[in-house]
Structure 1
């Protein structure tokens, strides 16, 4: 977005982004280069709206005083907020553009800004996931370090790292740009032929290779440590519960891993259309799955949402100590005793 600011908001003044070099009007770009995909567009749009409607009450519950005081809920809230914003780009905006059959030059300013923000949200979420699994590993294995780095307002200070990280990608690296022809977002605006490598975003490649892989590796270590503790001291009912949480978290981790790897690969090499679609769906699921997990598999959030909507089945005994099973992105599985 730095390029856009420097050029005073005129995208056609940015080197290699001048849409007028090929067609004179955005309508011609849509007609000549775009491929309307109304069915896929409405599916994306509907998915985005559903996730947003599910996520908002979850975030409301996370903000409750008894929850937000815990460092994990602070991290989860930021992750949820970023997910919500990312869904606005990769599902809602994408759906509208697919219905029209738009390409980058159909709406260059809008797509440039949306792509820059979407990239920032993705990279910020990756860093938040890494912090979240680190928080859980320290909480289980090195509790004194959790108090040192995540107690009180220190969590808020730590969370400035992923915020600044996401802003860096949004403002100082090339943005993702949409094309209905391939039903996804690329760094190449597809204005000129044989110039794909000139548009590459190498910091994004580094993010996907390092942050996502590191998160999955750390998450694997975390699960191994948890499993070792469970074998020693938990009851069979708890083992079953934590096995389910492990499977849920593993699925989310794999979704993010697939999205990260496909998006790196398809920026450099030609791939089949169905692989591109899988990559984009993985990106959508990576930001959307936690909303379903929070509502259907997380006791604390499900009960809180039930109370918000006065659903009788969501009542919890306030006198009992609540065991909170938290699953979000890779590595967000934890057991908390809320006193």
Structure 2
């Protein structure tokens, strides 16, 4: 983004991003390089709309006083907000561009900005996922440490790190750029032939290789620790809880790992079209599947959303102890959220 700002908001003034050297008008780019894909475009739009409609109530429940006081819900809320914004790029914006058959040079400024935001949101989500699983591991295995690093306002201070991390990728690294020809986002704007390596974003590659792999490793350690505890506790409730934790962690981690690895590989090597599609869908799922996990596998959020839409049925509010179940979430790499605060897990 710094390049665009330095160029006065005109992407055509950026070295190696000047579309006017190839064709005279944006329409020529769309006609000669673009491939309209209305079916895929409308599917992306529908998916993005559904995820947003599901995610907003979940975020409202996370913001409730009895939930947001817990460190894990603070982390999950920021992660959910970032997911919501990312879906606006990788699903809603992508859907519109697919319907049109756009390429980078069709809307250079808009795609440059959207790609910068999408990249930064993905990388921020990756780091938040790492923090979230670390929070869960400490909370269950080392409770004194979670109080030391995540109690009170300390969680907010910790979350400033992924915010700054995401802003670094937005403003100081090359953006992702869309092309309907390959129905995905690449660092190469496909203006010039044989210049792919000049557009590579090596910090993004490092993010996908280190952050995502580290998150998966922590998830593995987390699941192993849960399994060890399970062997000491044979109650049926614990059995269900441990099984759900393992399932949520595995699904989320797998989706994000696939997205991260495919996107790294396809930036450097030619791949079949279906591999590109798998990578893009994994990116979408990495930011979108937590909404389904919250609603179908998380008792606290599911109950909270149900109460939100049944307010007129009861005028008497009875106080009850909030029961926090497993909180599954990713994160292309992206994994997202494991269970909620251990002090109220059932």
Q: How would you bin the TM-score normalised by the shorter chain?
A: over 0.9
Q: In 1, distance between residues paired with 2:146 and 2:344?
A: 16
Is 123-132 or 234-243 further displaced after alignment? 234-243
Structure 2 residue aligned with 1:78? 78
Structure 2 residue aligned with 1:160? 160
Question: Alignment partner for residue 333 of structure 1, among 332, 338, 343?
Answer: 338
Is 239-248 or 129-138 further displaced after alignment? 239-248
Q: Is the 8 A contact 1:216 1:331 kept in 2?
A: no
Q: What is the correspondence of 1:248-259 to structure 2 with a 5 Å cutoff?
A: 248-259=248-259
Structure 1 residue aligned with 2:11? 11
- Computed over aligned residues only, the root mean square deviation of the Cα atoms, in angstroms, reads 1.8
- Structure 2 unaligned residues grouped into runs of 5+: none
User: CA 1:335–1:32 in 2, change beyond 3 Å: closer, same or farther?
Assistant: closer
Structure 2 residue aligned with 1:127? 127
Q: CA deviation at 1:297?
A: 1.0
What TM-score, normalized to structure 2? 0.94
Q: In 1, distance between residues paired with 2:251 and 2:71?
A: 24
Paired positions, count: 338
Q: Is the 8 A contact 2:245 2:339 kept in 1?
A: no
Alignment pair present for 1:186 and 2:186: yes
Is 241-250 or 218-227 further displaced after alignment? 241-250
Q: What is the correspondence of 1:36-47 to structure 2 with a 5 Å cutoff?
A: 36-47=36-47
Q: Is the 8 A contact 1:222 1:331 kept in 2?
A: no
Q: In 1, distance between residues paired with 2:336 and 2:166?
A: 20
Runs of 4+ that moved beyond 4 A: none
Q: In 2, distance between residues paired with 1:134 and 1:297?
A: 21
Structure 2 residue aligned with 1:30? 30
Alignment pair present for 1:95 and 2:100: no
Structure 2 residue aligned with 1:141? 141
Deviations 1:255-288 (A, max 9, x none): 0000000000000000000000000000000000
Q: Is the 8 A contact 2:136 2:339 kept in 1?
A: yes
Deviations 1:161-204 (A, max 9, x none): 00000000000000000000000000000000000000000000
Structure 1 residue aligned with 2:207? 207
Deviations 1:121-162 (A, max 9, x none): 000000000000111111111111111110000000000000
SS at match of 1:178: strand
What TM-score, normalized to structure 1? 0.96
SS at match of 1:334: coil
Q: Is the 8 A contact 1:45 1:96 kept in 2?
A: yes
Structure 2 residue aligned with 1:269? 269
